[in-house]
Chains A and B, each alone.
Chain A
């Protein structure tokens, strides 16, 4: 299995294998040293026990004494065991320790053979010891052990042959037979040691392989861990930013929530099935529920008016399907309290990225108050119209009655004048009648017109001049009356003085400018210029007498003209040439102000 990042250095691996093998071998050597330390101590004690058991005493006739085997087991066994035990405890793992142990163990075998009375079974100790020594897994330790056994037999064969072979003259090479059996076992032990060493090398190689893999894996894991830590930091940063953004978003959402909830208009969004997906507090209040209670529901769940619900549904689907805004100037909705509210609604489709719409947004403004005000205003207007009509009727009636009263006055003056024979007195009466008539004509014109506040001055002037002409029995072929009046309407406060002034000046011309059926023209014009109005009355008659000053004329007529001109804030001018011309200018503004 290949792992990225694993450096498979063969030389390094071989060194590591050797290190592991050496460590394992040292561990085995030390462990076996410790085992032999215990074993040799036990052997020593066992030897002492065996000597005490087998041959505690030796006898010479009737005399007994401690058997030399006991002392040999105690002191010689102790001497044999002490050095290997000390080295095994203080220098475990050293080759010299193993050699010493091997030599000591085989010497102990020789001693035990004697201590057990020369039992042939004790000779197995030699072969058992060789097997134990093979636990070192070091073939070298078998050499001193074998040498000790061979030397034992060789020396004893030389110096005490009867102890080995029971005869004084045994073959000097017979020791080789005994050594050969030891070597025979050594052969098997060497094979076993070789296999063990091979297995240890195999273990070392596998361990090194595992370590190498682990090292690579650890490096890989460390690298991945570092990457994960960095990614984790980045993630934590993103999470923190996201949390901050979510906090801000939540605040913004709460703010927007507050904004739409504070809005008195109904703000809502619905899906294609008519379910509310967004509502504000106003519409929730209108339906007598909460915002959460309204979400997911439809109008039909709260509005008992089926016709309204169907109308809403139709409009909603129209907006979603056509993708077009719909403005509904007025519509009604029945709220939770059963009250009918007037709404002005605008509905728009909520178009998704694919250009389709499955939701619509509606904003409905409650116009119930405005609607009620409009209705109240309409009623007030109706009342005002009625009142105005009644006032006009009353005003016309007043004008009519004033005109009638003035007509009565005129008639009374006419009746009165019939009993008067004095020409001058008659003229006075006639003038008075004309003056009253001129005012009566104003009221007559007023109540006959639609506008009771202003009078069509041209129409009035036609009537006035015709009346004046008739009253002085002026024949039209003798004096031609020319009237030039701009189409202006004058308020009554202006029209009355103007009418009286024209009456005075026209009467004066008709009475005095054309004596003895003289022919001529009487021109009356009323026009508007930049400064205001210009009233001009002229004739082609005989003109004013020599030295006549209109400003100082004491006739009633001239006094009235001056007084009325002043009332109009006007200026009076006259020209006495071919005929007489009076011109009066007065400002328009003033008249309007006064009106």
Chain B
């Protein structure tokens, strides 16, 4: 094949194009795979919480920002998890409800989805009090406690931000529920921050809330 000026230009353009796209995808994937702030949940079920710890089964708690698009994958994975758990767990989905936000602000499609999952109780977390009790910082943070109130698992149940599919978190929980050894007891959490960086979980909104 003869090398011509046009082909050289085309090759350069293609290289530049691939580079731009590679950079873009890299940035995107970096964003997608950038885990949220890790939680430091209490190793024992907090006594101040108003959620009742199940005595006969494990208790799962998921902290969710109701408007976080990335948590749609987390709810979806919770749905699959509950199906696999087959009644071995009591699950609570705590939806953040900052103060001064209109009523039903938390009643999003995520709420509806979570409430429709058998064995899952959707609860409003007024002002993020429960999130604070469980030291959760990122939407999708999932915690699994034993009936004795021991922390069994902490992390996210998605492979990346908003990415559905098999993941280490869900596999670990399912294994724990089946009294098996989990490959990991702690995973990254991919989701929106539950609190604005400057609010310390009580952040304020930059814009008036919609709905």
A interface residues with partner B (beta carbon < 8 Å): 54-65, 67-69, 72, 75-76, 79-80, 83, 96, 100, 103, 107, 110-111, 114, 117-120, 156, 159-160, 162-168
Contacting B29 at CB < 8 Å: which of A54, A56, A80, A160?
A: A160
CB distance from B143 to the nearest CB of A (A): 18
The answer to whether B68 and A162 touch across the interface, beta carbons within 8 angstroms, is no
Interface 9-residue window, one of B9-17, B38-46, B50-58, B144-152: B9-17
- Interface residues as binary, B1-34 with A (CB distance below 8 Å gives 1, 0 otherwise): 0000001001001100110110011001111110
Contacting A72 at CB < 8 Å: which of B28, B195, B209?
A: B28
By a CB distance below 8 angstroms, the chain B residues around A68 are 28, 31
Q: Which residue of B lies closest to A96 (CB)?
A: B10
By a CB distance below 8 angstroms, the chain A residues around B119 are none
By a CB distance below 8 angstroms, the chain A residues around B101 are 62
CB distance from A32 to the nearest CB of B (A): 19
The answer to whether B204 and A62 touch across the interface, beta carbons within 8 angstroms, is yes
11 contacts between A and B (CB under 8 A): A58-B70, A60-B203, A62-B101, A64-B67, A69-B69, A79-B21, A80-B21, A118-B159, A160-B32, A162-B187, A167-B168
By a CB distance below 8 angstroms, the chain B residues around A55 are 69-70, 162
The answer to whether A60 and B159 touch across the interface, beta carbons within 8 angstroms, is no
Q: Which residue of A lies closest to B197 (CB)?
A: A60
The answer to whether B14 and A163 touch across the interface, beta carbons within 8 angstroms, is no
By a CB distance below 8 angstroms, the chain A residues around B207 are 63-64
By a CB distance below 8 angstroms, the chain A residues around B29 are 114, 156, 159-160, 163
Report the bound CA distance from A72 to B168 in whole Å. Answer: 27
B183 within 8 A of A: yes
CB distance from A319 to the nearest CB of B (A): 103
By a CB distance below 8 angstroms, the chain B residues around A57 are 67, 69
Knowing A83-B14, A83-B17, A111-B25, the reply to whether A62 touches B209 (Cβ < 8 A) is yes
The answer to whether B24 and A76 touch across the interface, beta carbons within 8 angstroms, is yes
CB distance from A96 to the nearest CB of B (A): 6
Q: Which residue of B lies closest to A94 (CB)?
A: B10
Knowing A100-B14, A111-B25, A162-B168, the reply to whether A60 touches B160 (Cβ < 8 A) is no
By a CB distance below 8 angstroms, the chain A residues around B14 are 83, 96, 100
By a CB distance below 8 angstroms, the chain A residues around B158 are 118, 166
B interface residues with partner A (beta carbon < 8 Å): 7, 10, 13-14, 17-18, 20-21, 24-25, 28-33, 65, 67-70, 72-73, 96, 98, 101, 139, 158-160, 162-169, 171, 183-184, 187-188, 192-197, 199, 201, 203-207, 209
By a CB distance below 8 angstroms, the chain A residues around B168 are 162, 165-168
By a CB distance below 8 angstroms, the chain B residues around A114 are 28-29, 32, 162-163
CB distance from B74 to the nearest CB of A (A): 11
Sorted nearest first, the 4 A-B pairs with minimum C-beta distance are A166-B167, A118-B163, A55-B69, A166-B159
Contacting A60 at CB < 8 Å: which of B13, B28, B72, B193?
A: B193
By a CB distance below 8 angstroms, the chain A residues around B30 are 160
The answer to whether A67 and B164 touch across the interface, beta carbons within 8 angstroms, is no
Report the bound CA distance from A448 to B157 in whole Å. Answer: 188
By a CB distance below 8 angstroms, the chain B residues around A164 are 159
By a CB distance below 8 angstroms, the chain A residues around B98 are 61-62
A58, A67, A100: most-surrounded residue (chain B CB, <10 A): A58
Knowing A64-B67, A167-B168, the reply to whether A58 touches B24 (Cβ < 8 A) is no
Contacting A118 at CB < 8 Å: which of B17, B31, B164, B183?
A: B164
By a CB distance below 8 angstroms, the chain B residues around A63 are 196, 203-207
B21, B193, B196, B209: most-surrounded residue (chain A CB, <10 A): B21
CB distance from B80 to the nearest CB of A (A): 11
Report the bound CA distance from A62 to B210 in whole Å. Answer: 11
Knowing A59-B67, A117-B164, the reply to whether A76 touches B25 (Cβ < 8 A) is yes
CB distance from B83 to the nearest CB of A (A): 15
Report the bound CA distance from A167 to B167 in whole Å. Answer: 7
Knowing A80-B21, A167-B168, the reply to whether A62 touches B69 (Cβ < 8 A) is no
Contacting A166 at CB < 8 Å: which of B20, B166, B201, B204?
A: B166
By a CB distance below 8 angstroms, the chain B residues around A75 are 24
Report the bound CA distance from A168 to B162 in whole Å. Answer: 17
The answer to whether B28 and A160 touch across the interface, beta carbons within 8 angstroms, is no
By a CB distance below 8 angstroms, the chain A residues around B159 are 118, 162-166
The answer to whether A163 and B33 touch across the interface, beta carbons within 8 angstroms, is yes
CB distance from A459 to the nearest CB of B (A): 155
What 5 additional pairs, Cβ within 8 angstroms, besides A61-B194, A62-B196, A166-B165?
Answer: A63-B196, A72-B28, A110-B25, A117-B163, A163-B33
By a CB distance below 8 angstroms, the chain B residues around A83 are 13-14, 17
CB distance from A196 to the nearest CB of B (A): 25
CB distance from B193 to the nearest CB of A (A): 4
By a CB distance below 8 angstroms, the chain B residues around A119 are 164
The answer to whether B169 and A117 touch across the interface, beta carbons within 8 angstroms, is no
CB distance from B191 to the nearest CB of A (A): 9
CB distance from B194 to the nearest CB of A (A): 6
The answer to whether A61 and B160 touch across the interface, beta carbons within 8 angstroms, is no
By a CB distance below 8 angstroms, the chain B residues around A117 are 69-70, 72-73, 162-164
B159, B171, B194: most-surrounded residue (chain A CB, <10 A): B159
Report the bound CA distance from A150 to B163 in whole Å. Answer: 19
Report the bound CA distance from A103 to B29 in whole Å. Answer: 18
Report the bound CA distance from A62 to B197 in whole Å. Answer: 10
The answer to whether B196 and A61 touch across the interface, beta carbons within 8 angstroms, is yes
The answer to whether B199 and A61 touch across the interface, beta carbons within 8 angstroms, is yes
By a CB distance below 8 angstroms, the chain B residues around A61 are 65, 96, 98, 193-196, 199, 201, 203, 205
The answer to whether A160 and B33 touch across the interface, beta carbons within 8 angstroms, is yes
By a CB distance below 8 angstroms, the chain A residues around B10 are 96
By a CB distance below 8 angstroms, the chain A residues around B69 are 54-58, 67, 69, 117
Contacting B192 at CB < 8 Å: which of A60, A103, A163, A165?
A: A60
By a CB distance below 8 angstroms, the chain B residues around A163 are 29, 32-33, 159-160, 163
Contacting B73 at CB < 8 Å: which of A69, A111, A118?
A: A118
Contacting A58 at CB < 8 Å: which of B21, B68, B169, B201?
A: B68
By a CB distance below 8 angstroms, the chain B residues around A120 are 164-165
By a CB distance below 8 angstroms, the chain A residues around B32 are 114, 160, 163
Q: Which residue of A lies closest to B172 (CB)?
A: A167
Knowing A60-B197, A163-B159, the reply to whether A79 touches B17 (Cβ < 8 A) is yes
CB distance from B35 to the nearest CB of A (A): 8
Q: Which residue of B lies closest to A60 (CB)?
A: B193
Report the bound CA distance from A76 to B15 in whole Å. Answer: 16
By a CB distance below 8 angstroms, the chain B residues around A110 are 25
